[in-house]
Amino acid sequence: MRETALAPEDLIQPVFVVSGQDRREPVARMPGVDRLSVDLLVEEVQGWRRLGIPAVALFPAVDPSRKSEDGREAWNPDGLVPCALRTLRQTVPDLVLVADVALDPYTSHGHDGLLGPDGTVLNDETLEVLVQQALCLAEAGADVVAPSDMMDGRVGVLRHALESAGYTQTVILSYAAKYASAFYGPFRDAVGSASSLGRGDKSTYQMDPANSDEALREARLDIQEGADILMVKPAGPCLDVIARVRRELGWPTFAYQVSGEYALLESGIRNGLLEGPRAVLESLVAIRRAGADAILTYYAGRVARWLREGVFS
């Protein structure tokens, strides 16, 4: 009688990467989540792969000395993410590698795009550097590039640039409906963009949480521009948006259970207020029931293990 299934194959594990070797640093506001150097990441990823997790999404914690106004480290072929991609490509060949396209881990101001003299984000100038970043990621072996920057028109220019450079198989997972959400705070600690951003906010380019028609307009544009997959983010607070995007547009739709959703669940569980695995499972089944084809969640590896151990049956 069960209408909705949840399997490891539906889950994508986001990971935070740091430079160096044998480094494992806890993320302050995400208990149970660590930033890992590439060598440790390989071991973790092999474990997740064995449990049936098909994909990881990489996010770098860039050393502050490598951040700049224009975020040029974002298209350094020897940067953290390209190196991680090359290593994972070799060591775990059947793993799908998702790489984020946005400048925020690399800019000294923590914004996803370039800033003008008055501090506003420059949409069209940013598109040019996002292209460089996406080409660098595709070259390093990313199967999927995931623009999370929310600049207008970026899917079209990325698609065109990838095709022109011969990356015809690279998938574009577009953060079509990404809200200016209060649930991203712990992630900004994890990649170190929180202190850069300070009191700045991203509401000039991310969406107003009060809107859902706008999410459909954004998603339609991204489909026209060449997106293969749409993403709705955050997930739990946007179940209605996931449902509308999936049903009204009929396009592959992923959802991102973000850092704040994770922090909320995990702190509840650690403080004995919530019943662990069941609360996590319910949060994810609800996102699937709303219509998400796959879910990015920091619980991916753990859920796969719980499923294997029969914790939910």
Closest CB to ligand PBG: residue number: 187
Based on CB atoms, which residue is closest to ligand PBG, 184 or 306? 184
Shortest Cβ 267–ligand PBG spacing (Å): 15
Based on CB atoms, which residue is closest to ligand PBG, 10 or 104? 104
Shortest Cβ 112–ligand PBG spacing (Å): 5
Using left for φ > 0, alpha for ψ between -120 and 50, and beta otherwise, residue 22 falls in: left
H or E element in which residue 17 lies: strand 11-18
Based on CB atoms, which residue is closest to ligand PBG, 96 or 264? 264
Based on CB atoms, which residue is closest to ligand PBG, 104 or 266? 104
Shortest Cβ 75–ligand PBG spacing (Å): 15
Cis (ω within 30 of 0) for the bond into 234? yes
Spatial CB neighbours of 4, under 8 Å, sequence gap ≥ 6: 285, 288, 289
CA–CA separation, 176 and 253 (whole Å): 10
CA–CA separation, 283 and 301 (whole Å): 15
Instruction: Decide: 244 and 213 in contact? Cβ < 8 Å.
Output: no
Residue ranges in contact with ligand PBG by CB under 6 A? 100, 102, 104, 112, 148-149, 184, 187-188, 202, 258-259
Shortest Cβ 100–ligand PBG spacing (Å): 6
Instruction: Decide: 29 and 311 in contact? Cβ < 8 Å.
Output: no
Based on CB atoms, which residue is closest to ligand PBG, 62 or 258? 258
Place of tokens 């474990």: 47
Shortest Cβ 191–ligand PBG spacing (Å): 8
Residues with catalytic function: 178, 233
CA–CA separation, 212 and 242 (whole Å): 10
54 by Cβ neighbours in 10 Å (0-12 / 13-18 / 19+) ranks as: middle
